[in-house]
Amino acid sequence: MPAPTRIILDCDTANEIDDQFAITHALGQPDGTLDVRAVVSVHNTTAHGPGSRDMYQEEAERVVAFCGSDIPCIPGAERPMETPGEPVPSEGLDFLIEEARRGPLTVVATGPATDVASLLLVAPEVLENVRVVWLGGFGDEEHYGRYELRMGELNGRADIAAWRTLFERRVELLLVPGWPAAAKIVVEAASFAVELRGLGRAVADYLAEILERWTEERGGEVSRREKIIWDIACIAAVIDPQSVTVDKLAVPTLDAAGAHDFSKHGRKIEVVRDLDEERVLSGLMRALARHPKRTEP
C-alpha cells in the first residue's frame, strides 16, 4: 500500500468557520490516508488586525482538542510579507522547512500564503519535495473581472507579496479559487447544524455551534441563512481527486496592488475549475463520523 500523504495544514482558523471544517475533515480520514503533521496558524490582518494570528492559534488548538488529536498547533506568520523577496520568520516556518527536508510534503494553505511563500524563499532546496494546495485567487479572467468577487477574495489580498511569490516560484501548486468551484459547497445553516449534531460527535457539535453563531452574527434568522464551506475543497482535492475537475492555467502577472494582467502570462499551474459538491460534503460527513463521540451528561 502507498504511504499516507504527509500534510501540514496552514490555516487562518476563526477568520471564518471553514478552516475548522477543513481541520476536522483532514483529521477524520481513515488510517493510512493522511499523515497530518501539524496545524500552522497564519495571520489574516485584513480580516482581524495585528492580533489575528494569536486568535487563530487559540481556535486551532480548540478544534484539534475536540478531534481528540495530539498533533501540534504551531504559530506561523503574524503579519504579511513586506515585499515578494522578504520572508516572515516564525516557529511555523521553521517547522515547514524541517518537515519538507524529510521528504514529500503537501502544504494545504487555506489562508494568506505568507507561510508557504516564506518557505519557498528561505529553503529553495526543498521545493522538489513540496506541493502547495492553496485556496485563494481567481481561476480565470472572467471571475477576476467581477468587482464583487475581487473585493471578496481575502486570502490573496491579505498578503499580495506572498501571492505574487507563490505564482512566480517554481513549486508544484494546485490553486483552489473561491469561484466558481469552492463556492458551490453551500449548506443551509439550520438544517446542516441539525445534521452535524445528529452525528453524536463532540467536534461536530462544536461545528454546529459556530455555524449557527456565524449566521446569526451576520443578520437574520439562522433558518434563512446559507454558508459556503470553502476550505474543505482543498482537503477533497488531496484525498479524493475524482471529486474535483482540474485544468492547467497560465497564471497572470500581478502588480504590487494585486492587479492582474492576463495578457502577460507566467508559468502554468493546476487549477480546480469545478467540483462535485455533494461528493465533497458526503466525504466531510464520513470524516466527522470517525471522530470521538460526545460525552453524554
- At residue 265, the pLDDT reads 86
Which pLDDT value is given to residue 296? 67
| pTM reported for the whole predicted model | 0.96
Cα 86–92–95 angle (5° rounding)? 105
Which residues, including other chains, have CB under 8 Å from residue 135's CB and lie 6 or more apart?
Answer: 109, 110, 155, 176, 177, 178, 182, 230, 231, 233, 234
For the beta carbon of residue 137, count every other beta carbon within 10 angstroms: 27
Supply the pLDDT for residue 152. Answer: 81
* 5-185+229-288: CATH topology: Inosine-uridine Nucleoside N-ribohydrolase; Chain A (3.90.245)
List every span in the chain annotated with CATH 3.90.245.10.
Answer: 5-185+229-288
pLDDT score, position 220: 61
pLDDT value of position 297:
61
Distance CA 278, CA 151 (A): 28
Tell me what pLDDT residue 221 has. Answer: 59
pLDDT in tens, the chain (297 residues): 789 999 999 999 999 999 999 999 999 999 999 999 999 999 999 889 999 999 999 999 999 999 999 999 999 999 999 999 999 999 999 999 999 999 999 999 999 999 999 999 999 999 999 999 999 999 899 999 988 888 889 999 999 999 999 999 999 999 999 999 999 999 999 999 999 999 999 999 999 999 999 988 887 655 568 899 999 999 999 999 999 999 999 999 999 999 999 998 889 999 999 999 999 999 999 999 999 998 866
pLDDT at 231: 98
User: CA angle, 134 as apex, 258 and 168 as ends, to 5°?
Assistant: 50
Q: Which three cell numbers stand for residue 232?
A: 474543505
pLDDT at 2: 81
Residue 98: CB atoms within 10 Å: 13
Question: What pLDDT sits at residue 223?
Answer: 56
